Structure 1
Amino acid sequence: MDFFDNFLDILWWSLWVTIWVMFIFLMIRFVIDAWRDNEIGTGAKVGWTLLLILLPALGALIYLLARGKGMTERDMAAARDYRAAEVEFTRSLAYDDADIDALKRQPATEISRAKALLDSGAITPEEFAQLKARALA
């Protein structure tokens, strides 16, 4: 019975350590989010940081209720920016600048751009025909 009690004590202790570690990471996450937000001033950032440090549980609950949606939007924007940079970097590895310029000047691309201009009314059908002939030449 003594071994079983010790084992349960270890499990209970492990659970609490895990909860505390997760809570600390959550507090760090909230502070980082407050400081990366460009919409609030430095005073508000300091205020959120102090609230999260001095009253962690209450501060975390208030932060989630007040700024949770904005936190998600900032995360999504950062993910989009990261993905765009990743795609651009991969593209730069696959092609040099001359290849990218050649891809941009492909006839199909030029014709589709001219067609969009024609559809919007920015150019006449005759101008579209000239652009199409130039792209195919």
Structure 2
Amino acid sequence: MPEFWSNLGSIVWYTLTLIIFISYLFALFSIVGDVMRDRSLSGGIKAVWIICLIFFPFLTALIYLIVRGGGMAERSLAQAQQSKAAAEEYIRSVAGSPSDEIARAKSLLDAGTISDAEYEKLKAKALS
């Protein structure tokens, strides 16, 4: 029976160590992303943060989260809003309006390319 508990303790310790390491990696990637995303930092300051993260990773990550952690969420939110606005603008530019589709169908009807029934079908589709 003691061997079982010894192995169980090793499994729990290994699992806990793995969870802590993965959590640290998530925090590290988040910090590097935030450093690169922040437009208020100069290139030299960004380089200093990255170099410190390489040579003193745990201490630098802790200091960064204490000093600049409050702005991380704001910068992330601003980036998400900018990405959403760009995606919506692209969708609007590609989609076109129903009046554009009806005008295109009318020009096809006037050119004799489509029949009246096809024009009405395209018009109904554009309005739906």
Q: Normalized against structure 1, the TM-score is what?
A: 0.62
Aligned ranges 1:32-111 → 2 under 5 Å: 32-92=33-93, 95-96=95-96, 98-99=97-98
Matched positions, count: 99
Q: How many Å separate the matches in 2 of 1:39 and 1:49?
A: 16
Supply the AA of the counterpart residue of 1:78. Answer: Q
Runs of 4+ in structure 1 over 6 Å off: none
Q: Displacement of 1:23 after TM fit?
A: 0.5
Q: How many Å separate the matches in 1 of 2:8 and 2:90?
A: 52
Per-residue deviation, residues 64-95 of structure 1 (Å, max 9, x unmatched): 122112211110101111222333344456x4
Aligned CA-pair RMSD: 2.1
Higher relative contact order, structure no. (Cα contacts within 8 Å, ≥ 6 residues apart): 2
* Structure 2: stretches of 5+ with no match in the other structure: 101-128
In percent, how many aligned pairs have the same letter? 38
Q: Normalized against structure 2, the TM-score is what?
A: 0.66
